[in-house]
Structure 1
Amino acid sequence: MAEPPYGVIWNRLKRGRVVPFLGAGASLAARPAGACWDPDKPASLPSGAELSRLLAEETSFPFTRPNDVDDLATVSSYYCDMNGRRVLRERLRELLVGDYPCSALHHFLASIDMPLVFVVTNYDTLLEQAFLAAGRPYDLVIHPADRRDYANAVLWWPHGAAEPQFREPNRLEQDIDLARTTVIYKMHGSVCRDSARWDNFVITEDDYIDFLSRMTTHTAVPSLFSADFRDKSFLFLGYSLRDWNLRVVLKNLGREQAMRTEAQGDGPDDDELPRSWAIQRNPSEFERRLWEARGVSIFDVDIDEFIDKLHAAAEGGRA
């Protein structure tokens, strides 16, 4: 089995040439192997399927096949329709805000002494906690799915700000200098540890449809970030391509990256696009083919093992 190119990944990371994407598996990296999630005494965050099953049970979700209850977008839609958006949002906050441990992954990423853009599609705040523990500054940008009054804006917290500012997605260039500033971009919303007022979740089917429709009109991902992505490698950590919404997001990001690269050169050339990587344990053949079709090298490696070896590459490079 091929090993990830740890030296290449680290060299590009330390030069700011990589955009790390953190998926659901990244939030479970600190959970002991074989440990089960107990919603009454949670020692870790739930997986998407665990969260979906709990919501399905609480709202008496009607299903015909056992795996229907694992579809978080569908279950959340039903929960919202039956109980209201506020009840769903409050329940998510109860389940996602807690003293959950950061993993070696989060601490390692927070230790990189280079401004980076981190794209996070989880609702938790583990990466932010790791940055705070390391004393590293960062700006926070969140997609405001629960603020219909600011549907065409993003929430922006400059480092140290107690309250966010609303910004049009394509005007952040006036506020953030990516050459100097690390940004955590919560593409699908987030809980806000300090105030439930700013909790936002892209979680129901309608939420995803709205977000993806905005991607097609280039009003979802701020242009500041999409422009920055054009000559960067993507590092996908903890993602599965079983989710159709993620496949659409990646397809749109890849298309925009290719269009921008082509506009800069003489014509389309696969060699002009930097290679990207996905770290995923036990990917299916279906997922392997999808990653490869998107120009992403997939590696069947546990996240903890990957971070250990990436850290070793970093230490070797610093010696």
Structure 2
Amino acid sequence: MLISSAYDDLLEQAFTLAGKPFARLSAMIRKGNKHEVGHVQVEFSDGNAAAGVYTSEQVSTLEKTLADYSIIYKMRGTCRSNGNAREALTVTESDYFSFAQNTAAILPNYLVAQLGDLGLLFVGYRPRHWEDRLLATVLLKRRQAPEPCFRLVQTGEEPLETVFWQRRSVQPYAMDVQELEQYLVGGVA
């Protein structure tokens, strides 16, 4: 499972190029005409008919279907999506306040359960701004797992970032991005 804070679809493009099927999940962070906050937009790379918008609880009913896919959870939504994209896109300050007020609904219990038995590695994530710290804090608090969390240390890390990670027991991991890429390519092949 990959949890992305990026708006773009570069992860999805990489999976498509590698021929790996994926499911993209994005939580609705603002109430729309048809959906409440916390509903989850589910899309499949192969056009699976199970695509649609589900309540957070209903996502767990897709467990057998999702087992055939790599899951990409877009914490901030994505710019390339169907008509529900505006309700799943976290862009403005008020969107982040809505996100903060509804954290229990935004991260589906199904995904939290999946994270429970896994370690967590933050790659390329920099908690420089308050909204970035908010997203990481929500993820770490909802996860509540005994497995350790790590982050790839980046050059130019600011003291605030270092303290943020230390206070949340997210340990530095000594691996550069090229080494990680080789590991992932070997695992995908």
Common fold, TM-score beyond 0.5?
Answer: yes
Which residue of structure 1 lines up, in the alignment, with residue 61 of structure 2? 174
Matched residues in 2 for 1:310 and 1:154: separation?
Answer: 30
1:221 to 101, 104, 107: 107
2:18 to 130, 134, 140: 134
Matched residues in 2 for 1:286 and 1:240: separation?
Answer: 10
1:13-46: CA deviations, max 9, x gaps? xxxxxxxxxxxxxxxxxxxxxxxxxxxxxxxxxx
Deviation at 1:251, TM superposition (A): 2.2
Matched residues in 2 for 1:242 and 1:138: separation?
Answer: 30
TM-score (norm 2): 0.81
**Mind listing any 5+ residue stretches in structure 1 that lack a counterpart?**
1-116, 262-271
Query: What is the SS of the residue equivalent to 2:120?
Result: strand
Matched residues in 1 for 2:19 and 2:58: separation?
Answer: 28
The structure in which a higher percent of residues are helix is 1
Q: Are the structure 2 counterparts of residues 124 and 162 from structure 1 closer, same or farther at C-alpha, using a change threshold of 3 Å?
A: farther
Matched residues in 2 for 1:252 and 1:146: separation?
Answer: 17
Matched residues in 1 for 2:185 and 2:84: separation?
Answer: 39
Which residue of structure 2 lines up, in the alignment, with residue 148 of structure 1? 32
1:86-134: CA deviations, max 9, x gaps? xxxxxxxxxxxxxxxxxxxxxxxxxxxxxxx111111111111111111
Q: Does 1:296 align with 2:170?
A: yes
Return the index of the structure with the highest Cα Rg.
1
Which residue of structure 1 lines up, in the alignment, with residue 116 of structure 2? 230
Query: What is the SS of the residue equivalent to 1:184?
Result: strand
Paired residues, what number? 182
The structure in which a higher percent of residues are strand is 2
Matched residues in 2 for 1:144 and 1:289: separation?
Answer: 31
Matched residues in 2 for 1:278 and 1:294: separation?
Answer: 15
Which residue of structure 2 lines up, in the alignment, with residue 307 of structure 1? 177
Q: Does 1:278 align with 2:165?
A: no
Q: Are the structure 2 counterparts of residues 154 and 313 from structure 1 closer, same or farther at C-alpha, using a change threshold of 3 Å?
A: closer
Equivalent positions of 1:47-86 (< 5 A) are none
Q: CA RMSD in A?
A: 2.8
Q: Are the structure 2 counterparts of residues 205 and 313 from structure 1 closer, same or farther at C-alpha, using a change threshold of 3 Å?
A: closer
Equivalent positions of 1:96-245 (< 5 A) are 117-145=1-29, 148-149=32-33, 150-152=35-37, 153-161=39-47, 164-177=51-64, 179-192=67-80, 197-200=83-86, 201-215=89-103, 218-245=104-131
**Mind listing any 5+ residue stretches in structure 2 that lack a counterpart?**
none
TM-score (norm 1): 0.51
Question: Is the 8 Å Cα contact of residues 99 and 106 (structure 2) preserved in structure 1?
Answer: yes
Question: Is the 8 Å Cα contact of residues 131 and 137 (structure 1) preserved in structure 2?
Answer: yes
Matched residues in 2 for 1:315 and 1:133: separation?
Answer: 12
Matched residues in 1 for 2:30 and 2:141: separation?
Answer: 28
